[in-house]
């Protein structure tokens, strides 16, 4: 079945470091791909999305490119801040289900000043 695999956390970085959080997926057809973020004590917020191969989603300095050949959607940011500390979730929407999101396990990011 469809699935999403994320790198395990926590990921601990210093401020201004480069961030990569890996995400790969298994899906039939052409799913849409998403990154959601959950800040401490808050709900899940959409960070960025890509709906077809080679699309690049970007928001708040974060980027991810939909790579069909490697079935990946890695999240990157050039210079992280303490305020980026959160849990990041990669997810896909199933094409044969019009409504459901399939989620990765989440990666906790800790940024130290």
Question: 61-90: which residues touch other proteins (CB under 8 A)?
Answer: 89
* Contact status: 40 vs other proteins (CB under 8 A): no
Give the DSSP letter of residue 40.
Answer: T
Nearest one of 88, 69, 62 to 25, comparing CA atoms = 69
**Binding of other proteins by 106 (CB under 8 A):** yes
Q: Label the pairing between strands 11-14 and 107-112.
A: parallel
Per CB under 8 A, the list member of 23, 25, 32, 62 interacting with other proteins is: 32
Question: CB under 8 Å to 84, separation ≥6 — which residues?
Answer: 19, 77, 109, 111
Q: Is 94 in the site for other proteins (CB under 8 A)?
A: yes
Helix, coil or strand: residue 43: coil
Among 12, 28, 81, 97, binds other proteins (CB under 8 A): 97
Determine if 28 is a binding residue for other proteins (CB under 8 A).
no
Q: How far apart are CA 8 and CA 51, in angstroms?
A: 25
Give the pair of three-digit tokens for residue 42: 């808050």
Q: Which stretch binds other proteins (CB under 8 A): 9-17, 18-26, 71-79, 92-100?
A: 92-100
- Binding positions for other proteins, rule: CB under 8 A: 32, 34, 36, 41-46, 49, 51, 89, 91, 93-95, 97-106
């Amino acid at each position: 079945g469809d699935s999403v695999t994320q790198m395990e956390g926590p990921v601990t970085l210093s401020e201004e470091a480069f961030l990569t959080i890996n995400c790969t997926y298994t899906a039939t057809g052409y799913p849409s791909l998403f990154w959601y973020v959950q800040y401490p004590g808050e709900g899940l917020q959409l960070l960025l999305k890509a709906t077809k191969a080679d699309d690049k989603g970007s928001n708040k300095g974060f980027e991810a490119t939909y790579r069909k050949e490697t079935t990946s959607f890695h999240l990157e940011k050039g210079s992280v801040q303490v305020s980026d500390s959160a849990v990041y979730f990669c997810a896909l929407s199933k094409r044969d289900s019009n409504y459901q999101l399939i989620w990765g396990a989440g990666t906790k990011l800790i940024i130290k000043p």
